Amino acid sequence: MKDEKDLLANNTMSNELFQKTITNLQNDLYSLHSDRISPALVEDVVVMAYDSEMKLQEVASISVPEPQTIQIQPWDKTLTKAIETALRECDLHLQPVVDGETIRISFPPLTEERRKEIVKVMHEKVELARIAIRKTREEILRGLKDQEKNGDISEDDYFGQEKDIQKEVDSYNNQIKELADKKESELMKI
């Protein structure tokens, strides 16, 4: 009975770890810019505020007043310069314009070259997700191997669990591929 509970606990834990990787990838892909501008594009830009690093969404309101424009309204007006600096220095190649206490970022329509650059970044994020899935699988298998060595589970249980985990990994890798294909077609659509 104890072995069954341990196996169920391991299975639940592995599902949570794999699902967390998928959720992180979905968030990363959502933040990649296509023709639809989203506040998510800049929400996680790190701003030096109050002698610490904070995400932009923690120090300002972010809106999309026009289809190709993001507007940022700092809650503390003294942070305007720090926000502008963070936006310029982030890896998104943004050109923020300060208009009094408001910061605007305009996005021109994407060129084919820029779309290809974004797809390349997307593929890097997808590969990181695949690596995270593999690492999670290896950690789970290592834990199962330790349980087998300690006599907590039998060799047959180990190999059965290994097979089940590989099926999960394959399923999550298919989800990653579907997310990547969908995002790539969205990014390359003119």
pLDDT of the chain, 190 residues: tens digit per residue: 344 445 445 556 667 888 899 888 888 887 776 666 778 778 888 999 888 899 999 999 999 888 788 999 999 899 999 999 998 888 777 889 998 889 999 877 777 887 888 888 889 989 999 999 999 999 989 988 998 888 888 888 888 989 999 999 999 999 999 999 988 888 877 6
Q: What are phi and psi of 72, to 5 degrees?
A: -120, 125
Q: Cβ-count burial of 144 within 10 angstroms (0-12 exposed, 13-18 middle, 19+ buried)?
A: buried
pLDDT for residue 131: 94
CATH 3.30.1360.40 in the chain, residue ranges = 39-106
What is the per-residue pLDDT for 183? 87
Tell me if 6 sits within 8 A of 147, measured CB to CB.
yes
pTM: 0.65
Q: Where in the chain is the domain with CATH 1.10.132.20?
A: 2-31+111-188
Domain covering 2-31+111-188: architecture:
Orthogonal Bundle (1.10)
CATH of domain 39-106: 3.30.1360.40
Burial of 70 (0-12, 13-18, 19+ CB in 10 A): buried
